[in-house]
């Protein structure tokens, strides 16, 4: 499926308040959005990692650091993720 582009304006004073440059903020927003969508059950772990733009393993670690459990993972999604990981490791 083709990639879609999402764009919105951020006031300069927000960047100053966050003490971030625009690229850091973009990455943080991707990760935070992916974390929340995973937590809400809207995205699987693999899809959320893809949205965040980081590896499955790094995303799992970030979830752990932010106290977001992988345990509420639906059985069917977990089976798909395990199968995908087995394919990657082989």
* Count of the separate structural domains present in the chain: 1
Judge whether 25 lies within some domain: yes
b/e 51-71 (16+ beta carbons within 10 angstroms → b): bbebebeebbebbeeeeeeee
Judge whether 3 lies within some domain: no
Write down the residue that tokens 């995303």 correspond to: 59
Rounded Cα distance, 20 and 57, in Å: 25
pLDDT for 63: 96
Rounded Cα distance, 68 and 43, in Å: 14
Judge whether 5 lies within some domain: no
Residue ranges in the chain whose pLDDT is less than 70: 71-74
The residue segments making up the domain with residue 72 are: 12-89
pLDDT for 83: 86
pLDDT for 72: 65
Q: What is the pTM for the complete model shown?
A: 0.74
């Amino acid at each position: 499926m083709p990639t879609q582009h999402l764009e919105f304006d951020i006031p300069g004073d927000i960047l100053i308040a966050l003490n971030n440059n625009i690229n850091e903020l973009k990455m943080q927003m991707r990760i935070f959005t992916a974390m929340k969508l995973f937590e809400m059950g809207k995205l699987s772990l693999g899809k959320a990692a893809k949205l965040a733009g980081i590896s499955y393993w790094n995303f799992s670690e970030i979830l752990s650091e932010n106290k977001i459990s992988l345990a509420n993972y639906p059985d069917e999604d977990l089976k798909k993720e395990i199968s995908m990981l087995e394919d990657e490791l082989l």
